[in-house]
Structure 1
Amino acid sequence: MLQGGPALSIDVLVVFGVVAGAVALFVTEKIPTDTTALAVLVSLVVLREFTHVSADEAISGFASPATVTIVAMYILSAGVEETGAVKQLEVLVARLTQGDRDRLLTATVGITGPLAGVVNNTPVVALFIPMITDLADRTHTSPSKLLIPLSYAAMLGGTLTLVGTATNLVASSIADDLGVAGAPFSMFQFTPLGVLVLVVGSVYLLTVGQWLLPARIAPHDLTEEFGLKGRLARVYVPPSSSLVGRTVAEARTDDVKILQVVRGDQTLVASRTDREIEAGDVLTVRADDETVRAFVDESGLRRLPRAEVTEEELALGEGRGTLAEVIVPEGSGLVGRAVGETKMGERFDATVLAVRRGENLVVEDVSDAVLNEGDGLLVHATRNGLDHLEESGDLLVTERVGGGLDIEPEPIDVRQALLAIGIVVGVITVAAADLLPIAIAALGGVVAMVVGDVVRPADAYDAVNWEVIFLLAGVIPLGIAMEQTGAAALLASYVTAVSASLPAIATLALFYLLTGLLANLITPVASVALVLPIAVSTANEVGANAFAFVLAVTFAASTAFMTPMGYQTNLMVYSPGGYRFTDYVRVGAPLQLLLTVVTTLGIALLWGV
């Protein structure tokens, strides 16, 4: 026990035990995360003699402003999406990114961050989730690689202005009540620091963050959809091979289609090259395993057993190679003709790899398959050839890999779109002006959406991700227990005690870390309310700049990256990204430590300590 500080009582130990158990279950995912959250809720009441959490307090998370706000934001987002307005933005982003995954990630972070500085970050993420997941599907990218960056960028953007996040408003009010010079905050008072944090955080998300993020949801891959897994192979041409000196046309057989020639750092589309095969070339071929084995033996080749061929690799090559799905439309001149009779290779530099008819796939003897209306073909071709194929009118290109995105704008109900967007803007304006709490303003927006016939009541219920709601509602009482038993105050007292022997700037960093830790467990607003008075008191005791400590606590609370329940936008992307609890720790912990250094030094440079 610290002299004069909170005691390490049995009550505190029990709460820490519940926290440890909850974290263990969240990490291992032995049971669903929302079920774990409800188990925490029940445990706190069962152990109420130690946790001091009553039954009413345990279920208060279901009426928490954060919970209500997320429910409302899901519905508001669904209303805007229903009008087609989000699709228009998606078309614009698609044209800017042109199907490039790195550009899509850059656009996600680059648009979300600044926008979240002027619009509360929760509705920004709510509106962007459906757009980002759709674009991820179209660009054959795992949404897991985009949705945590979306949430984190919105959180970083929330540090730009006073209205970026509700935490800023709470911190401003508490600091003003404590009589801190410089409080309450003006709209752009800490924008320079916010810009620094946003830039550093964005660079991290575009580089290290991508390396750390797993692809929990597998990217959309046409080769797997058309049953070609195990039917694409790479073979090496040694100097002794009989193929050396022969052209691709001379080397291919009826059963073995050569799609690419990889020569050094060049990838040649086989149908476009009349070059002779050279020793050292690597050929990408399409055939079943037995046929590839025979081809290798007869031609003196060597198979590369670990070379897995993906759609992305098939979209490489000089001549602008691409892989595409095409549909045989009604009235096509190809209906009733076998694939081999269409002469697609001669006419369009195209090789048909597989045919799909409903749930049935044709992957053997493809050239003998007779085409019907509605059949889907997997085609490897040059992009120019694919363009000419589509211009012929006999086939409709529905999806191409590596060739950019061509999303046609859908019809939009302008009146309904303006009404939906106006409602969302109204919600944000009312909350930013402090006319109503954001939860009440958002519920008012839901009422307006339903009354205005933007969204139907049944669709409103379907729009809510209830797993997220139960997860948040279940862990909120844990914060109550930490506050009421003195567990949170005990942690803060240790930081205060340690600070006596540290330089002021190190104490500032410690309060940043403490606030960030608590924000990940008991919500950002609660961590600000708890830590800010202690931080200001400590600053006064050591003769430091109290305003600097206020900013450190505020920024730390706004960047709770390490748990899905740390911030509501983290919860919103949890299910769509297919994430695990550990993903937030893996990506968020290094970012939290990086921003501890950057924010502390930024505050010291701009305001002094």
Structure 2
Amino acid sequence: MAPLSAGALVVFALIAAALTLFVTEWLSPDMTAIAVLVSLAVLEPYTGVPAREAIEGFASPAVVTIVAMYILSAGVEQAGLVDWLAARLATLTRGDENRLLAAIVGTTSVSAGFVNNTPIVAVFIPLVTSLAERYRISPSRLLLPLSFAAMLGGTLTLIGTTTNLLASDISRDLLGEPFSMFTLTPVGVVVLLVGVAYLLTVGQSLVPERIHPAADFTEEFDMDRHLAQLTVRESSPLVGLTVAEALDGGELEALVDETDGVAATADEEAPSDAVDPIDVDVLQIDRDGESFFATATDWPIEADDVLTVRGSKQAVNQFAERYELRQLPRESVTEELLAESGHAGILAEAVVDGESRLLGRTLGDVGLRSRFDVTVLAIRRGDTVIREGFAGVELAAGDTLLVQTPVDEILHLDEEGYLVLTEGPPELFDVIHDEAAPPTLGPRALVPVGILVAVIALAALGVVPIYIAALGGVVAMVATGSLSASRAYDAVSWNVVFLLAGLLPLGAAMQATGGATFVGGLLAGAGTVLPPLALLALFYLLTAVIASVITPVATVVLLAPIAVATAQDVGLSGAPFLFVVTFAVATAFLTPVGYQTNLMVYGPGGYRFTDYARVGGPLQLLLCAVTTVGVAVVWPL
């Protein structure tokens, strides 16, 4: 075995630092990738990656294709195809859990082979939760299979996932030939069929019921001890003030907005005993049978008004004593009471996804209540629920927020990429999906679908490369009015683009310094005692586990060169090893952090971290055998 060069040691040190940042998330993954790119260029004498080569990832066919596919997917989504499929699903299943599960798994898996699976899952989550509520089925029983099905569908075609496109680029560099549109399809179809069969049988029995089907929001987030109603006495200093005036004047500095972390500015005449904030939010005011969202109404507070508040028992007691309020029985506060009047806004559930503008920011920095009239009542992180002290909570991907808000404000947050709506009252999704008029696919709506089909056909027939076909499709989308130019730019997940472009030169550095060959030589030792098929299975498992801990993109960049080098060291073809890595990174089921759609269902399903391994572990082992054999048959060792 060749000795390890100084350059390889430098590259391995950069990899170790990058992996540490990926796991700890001290820097966001895209910024970590750019830091790797800069480091490789600065350390060129050791890494062998000049500055011009370091930035070539931004012009990589894979990156260009991914940008174009985001835009094409947005055009298809805007045409209403996904909404139309969802409406048909609701009509056909009619409340039967087995039929509903089969429809969800079948629809999402096939769709994800041709359209970006993130918008598919984003549309299906609220549909699934509303159907689950209507038919008294636990949403937990349906959402994890939804995510896994979308991942399985990604193995069908070249454009099924970003990692497929990235692996195609790596194949071109290492093996001299990129993937075609349907290179993965023979094995992908088998993987999909086996995975769907598992989800509808064994997997169905393993999926836990974390959220009771009959639970409303207050029960689901266990809010009974953190919601209370207080009656305003005639002697209360709040009488005659609106909530806004009280906040401005210092009377309600107890209402420090824990969702923006900024206390109301008290004037010089503020009472000295009111300087210490109390962690209590006023949610609504009830008077003579009408309810009003507290921060949106300009009605002065009157004696005998009932204030609905969020806070711990101790905080509410302190608040009531300070402002001369009388407490009502806590069990009177329900979801129905909180949303019984349009004046009071609605209760909704929304997820912080992996591309949210809220990632890494605290609620105190964001100012949801002061900027958007959105009051956070609770945060669910897996099976843990946070109900107080929101100001210092740093939001992470997968967090689910229970909010009280006017409809237009929560829609604005969804449209601007802050949150993904997952559950709410029917009127909320009537606005989004216009359920009064079931979605139809008219001639105009079929234009973007036709453009996507044309792109796939041109690439599959080899008329033009996939990236040229996809860019042509983008032009056609905008030229036909199927998508505006501004919406096209907004559709691209630029953090993913920077992640891909930043990590691509890392693979080149491993090749240039001999690092991939060195690691391949170490693993080739296993090839002397393992038969080729077992070595192939070993790479599948290694890839699947690593991809479940760090990003699949980083995993394919790191392991694809090593897999090919290992195969060449033991005298085997590199192609099957590259393909098995490609399939393994696309099906990283073991944790919620391994794949974007897993994070999206984490909060709405109320899952525990271990639920993914519980359901995905057996599926991962099953697909290890199926994929390994399938790859060896289609691409002989």
Question: Considering the TM-score relative to the shorter chain, is it more than 0.5?
Answer: yes
Larger radius of gyration: 1
User: What residue is the counterpart of 1:354 in the other structure?
Assistant: none
User: What residue is the counterpart of 2:526 in the other structure?
Assistant: 498
2:466 alignment partner, one of 429, 438, 445: 438
User: What residue is the counterpart of 1:480 in the other structure?
Assistant: 508
Any unmatched runs of 5+ in structure 1?
214-218, 233-254, 258-285, 294-302, 315-321, 329-357, 362-374, 377-396
Is residue 622 of structure 2 the alignment partner of residue 598 of structure 1?
yes
Q: Distance in 2 between matches of 1:417 and 1:563?
A: 37
Aligned runs of 1:186-205 on 2, under 5 Å?
A: 188=186, 191-192=189-190, 194-200=192-198
Residue by residue over 1:521-540, the C-alpha shift from the partner in whole angstroms, topping out at 9 and shown as x without a partner, is: 55648855663474376375
TM-score for the superposition, normalised by structure 2: 0.54
1:452 shift after superposition: 0.6
| 8 Å Cα contact 2:167-2:560 kept in structure 1 | no
Q: Distance in 2 between matches of 1:103 and 1:113?
A: 15
Q: Distance in 2 between matches of 1:107 and 1:125?
A: 16
| 8 Å Cα contact 2:540-2:628 kept in structure 1 | no
Q: Distance in 2 between matches of 1:429 and 1:210?
A: 41
User: What residue is the counterpart of 1:71 in the other structure?
Assistant: 67
1:125 shift after superposition: 1.1
| 8 Å Cα contact 1:551-1:603 kept in structure 2 | no
Aligned runs of 1:265-344 on 2, under 5 Å?
A: 311=335, 327=342
2:35 alignment partner, one of 30, 34, 39: 39
For the residue of structure 1 that corresponds to 2:227, the secondary structure is coil
Distance 1:537 1:201, change over 3 A: farther
Distance 1:161 1:473, change over 3 A: closer
User: What residue is the counterpart of 2:452 in the other structure?
Assistant: 424
Q: Distance in 2 between matches of 1:146 and 1:19?
A: 37
Is residue 503 of structure 2 the alignment partner of residue 511 of structure 1?
no
1:145 shift after superposition: 10
Q: Distance in 1 between matches of 2:625 and 2:586?
A: 17
Residue by residue over 1:72-98, the C-alpha shift from the partner in whole angstroms, topping out at 9 and shown as x without a partner, is: 222222222333333222322344567
User: What residue is the counterpart of 1:125 in the other structure?
Assistant: 117
Any unmatched runs of 5+ in structure 2?
230-286, 290-306, 318-327, 344-371, 376-405, 408-424
Distance 1:420 1:556, change over 3 A: same
User: What residue is the counterpart of 1:318 in the other structure?
Assistant: none
Residue by residue over 1:546-600, the C-alpha shift from the partner in whole angstroms, topping out at 9 and shown as x without a partner, is: 998686455335435679998xxx46x5996799xxx999787788865664245
Letter in 1 for 2:622: V
User: What residue is the counterpart of 1:231 in the other structure?
Assistant: 228
Aligned runs of 1:565-584 on 2, under 5 Å?
A: 570=595, 573=597
1:201 shift after superposition: 6.5
1:144 shift after superposition: 11
Is residue 49 of structure 2 the alignment partner of residue 49 of structure 1?
no
| 8 Å Cα contact 1:162-1:188 kept in structure 2 | no
Aligned runs of 1:395-410 on 2, under 5 Å?
A: 398-399=426-427, 407-409=435-437
Residue by residue over 1:199-229, the C-alpha shift from the partner in whole angstroms, topping out at 9 and shown as x without a partner, is: 447778767677899xxxxx977999x9995
| 8 Å Cα contact 1:132-1:143 kept in structure 2 | no
Q: Distance in 1 between matches of 2:42 and 2:608?
A: 30
Letter in 1 for 2:227: G
| 8 Å Cα contact 1:101-1:139 kept in structure 2 | no
Q: Distance in 1 between matches of 2:509 and 2:199?
A: 32
Is residue 145 of structure 2 the alignment partner of residue 153 of structure 1?
no
For the residue of structure 2 that corresponds to 1:416, the secondary structure is coil
| 8 Å Cα contact 1:495-1:510 kept in structure 2 | no
| 8 Å Cα contact 1:12-1:486 kept in structure 2 | yes
User: What residue is the counterpart of 2:490 in the other structure?
Assistant: 462
Distance 1:185 1:440, change over 3 A: closer
TM-score for the superposition, normalised by structure 1: 0.56
Letter in 2 for 1:154: A
Letter in 2 for 1:195: L
Letter in 2 for 1:231: A
Q: Distance in 1 between matches of 2:210 and 2:18?
A: 24
Distance 1:76 1:143, change over 3 A: farther
1:10 alignment partner, one of 6, 10, 19: 6
| 8 Å Cα contact 1:159-1:555 kept in structure 2 | yes
Residue by residue over 1:101-155, the C-alpha shift from the partner in whole angstroms, topping out at 9 and shown as x without a partner, is: 9987765433222444xx44xx241551442354367579999998886564333
Q: Percent identity?
A: 38
Is residue 167 of structure 2 the alignment partner of residue 135 of structure 1?
no
Q: Distance in 1 between matches of 2:37 and 2:166?
A: 28
Is residue 22 of structure 2 the alignment partner of residue 26 of structure 1?
yes
1:34 shift after superposition: 2.6
1:535 alignment partner, one of 553, 567, 575: 567
| 8 Å Cα contact 1:84-1:410 kept in structure 2 | no
| 8 Å Cα contact 2:567-2:577 kept in structure 1 | yes
Q: Distance in 2 between matches of 1:437 and 1:584?
A: 43
| 8 Å Cα contact 1:564-1:584 kept in structure 2 | no
Q: Distance in 1 between matches of 2:217 and 2:99?
A: 18
Q: Distance in 1 between matches of 2:169 and 2:62?
A: 16
For the residue of structure 2 that corresponds to 1:231, the secondary structure is strand
1:20 shift after superposition: 1.9
Letter in 1 for 2:123: M
User: What residue is the counterpart of 1:62 in the other structure?
Assistant: 58
Letter in 1 for 2:106: G
